[in-house]
Amino acid sequence: MKKQLLGLALTLLVAVSMLLGGALQAEAGNFVQVADTGVLKLKANGKWEKEYRSKMGDVKIRFRNVLNFNDNKRYHLLIWWRDPGTDKYIRVADGYSPKNKFGYGFKVFRDNRTGRVFFAMDAHGRLVLYGYDTFARKLEMYVDSNNYYSPLPLPSMLVRPDGDLELRFDNVNGTVNPTRYRLFWDAGSNWFGYEDLNAKAYSGASATYDDSVYDTSVRNAPTIYEGVD
């Protein structure tokens, strides 16, 4: 009788573990795309500004082409955040970006499980992902496409069907399979982890870029966003 009860208990424990494991796995990806600006081609002293509302809070982004500044500080980026139920925005980003002949674009992502908001800044040759931690009230740079190997020049970011983010690299005409990395939020390290989704053949491929289809200056720059303390 004791053996039967022990066996039943073990069976129930395994079943519960499987259910919990499945639930945790299902919650691993909860990203949604809130906004996509497309490419912003701003004239001298021109600006783009947009406010996005969500149940986790509101975000406002302003990006301006500063005519009288040098090429390393050609664009001024400001980002504000407002908590739900409050009237006042707080500034979470204030800095500059270098000149880029192809323009910049932004995507805004939200992790519905953690409440974090992320901003992907795309410079048509380099992409960085910043996140505002609503608990620590701090802006972090989590991803820089320069730190991920690809023989293809154009990075972008999207939400995968499983709810995680994906950093991918393409060529201009899309005739080659993209280089792909799955990005997932690792609660243990409080940072993004990644999974290399690429074929082994990529590991030996040489990285060559055509300067005429993207701006090499943004790839070679120390950063495409220099914050101001």
**Which pair of structure tokens corresponds to residue 160?**
């995968």
Cα dihedral angle (92, 96, 101, 107), rounded to 10 degrees?
Answer: -10
User: Residue 192: phi, psi to the nearest 5?
Assistant: -85, 135
DSSP string, 5-69: HHHHHHHHHHHHHHHHHHHHHHTS--EEEEEEEEEE-PPTT-EEEEEEEETTEEEEEEEEE-TTS
The answer, as to whether pTM is greater than 0.85, is: no
* DSSP 8-state assignment for residue 148: S
Average pLDDT score over residue span 71-82: 89
pLDDT band at residue 46, thresholds of 50, 70 and 90? very high
Residue 22: the pLDDT is: 38
How many other CB atoms are there within 10 angstroms of residue 145's CB atom?
Answer: 25
pLDDT tens-place string over residues 187-215: 888 899 999 998 654 444 555 555 555 56
> What percent of the chain has pLDDT above 70?
75
Give the span between the Cα atoms of 45 and 128, in whole angstroms: 24
The residues spanned by each domain of the chain are 32-221
